[in-house]
């Protein structure tokens, strides 16, 4: 069954914010999905398929959604992926369309995967990978982030956008730390 794109942000913000303990199976779920993505959109992939976000950090509490970042030549060049990915149950939304093509799977009300197609070498893709790498290398910061996520999930259980906005300051600070750390 081919899934249609969804344009209305209210369709993808309706899932409750739930943060759970780390699950070691998340890495395996990423690998399985990465294989499927390589087989499906491999000719558009120029910058790898990366497990990013909290599920990619061992021990970190997270929403149980596998975040995947894929480097592509450019957003316009990757536009055909939108229809191709429907065949493997990814739904497209123009969320942050200036920096990525964003998808969720299998539907906005029960997500298991988020997919971000971003230009290879773009500031956003580099930051996503650096954020993950920094938290893996700095378990104390990952622990702080987990505690923040847990508190914010309780405060914003019915508002995913408010949850994301409330984390922004911490995420920005860690991205700056990660940038300096990578330059060493």
Instruction: Output the tens digit of pLDDT for each of the chain's 184 residues.
Output: 334 444 445 455 567 889 999 999 999 999 999 999 999 999 999 999 999 999 999 999 999 999 999 999 999 999 999 999 999 999 998 878 788 999 999 888 788 999 999 999 999 999 999 999 999 999 999 999 999 999 999 999 999 889 999 999 999 999 999 989 988 8
The separation between CA 171 and the C-alpha centre of its own chain, rounded to angstroms, equals 13
- pTM confidence score: 0.90
Position 182 scores a pLDDT of 85
The SS3 of residue 54 is helix
| Superfamily grouping for domain 9-183 | Beta Polymerase, domain 2 (3.30.460.10)
Residues 33 and 54: their CA atoms lie apart, in Å, by: 17
């Amino acid at each position: 069954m081919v899934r249609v794109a969804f344009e209305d942000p209210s369709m993808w913000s309706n899932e409750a914010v739930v943060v759970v303990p780390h699950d070691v199976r998340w890495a395996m779920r990423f690998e399985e999905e990465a294989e499927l993505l390589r087989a499906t959109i491999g000719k558009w992939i120029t910058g790898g398929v990366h497990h990013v976000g909290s599920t990619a950090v061992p021990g970190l509490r997270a929403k149980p959604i596998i975040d995947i970042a894929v480097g592509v030549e450019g957003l316009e060049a990757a536009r055909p992926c939108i229809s191709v990915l429907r065949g493997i149950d990814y739904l497209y939304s123009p969320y942050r369309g200036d920096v990525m093509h964003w998808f969720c799977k299998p539907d906005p009300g029960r997500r298991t995967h988020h997919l971000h197609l971003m230009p290879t070498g773009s500031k956003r893709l580099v930051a996503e990978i650096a954020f993950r790498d920094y938290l893996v290398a700095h378990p104390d910061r990952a622990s702080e982030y987990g505690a923040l996520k847990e508190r914010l999930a309780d405060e914003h259980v019915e508002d995913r956008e408010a949850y994301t906005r409330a984390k922004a300051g911490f995420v920005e600070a860690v991205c700056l730390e990660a940038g300096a750390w990578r330059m060493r």
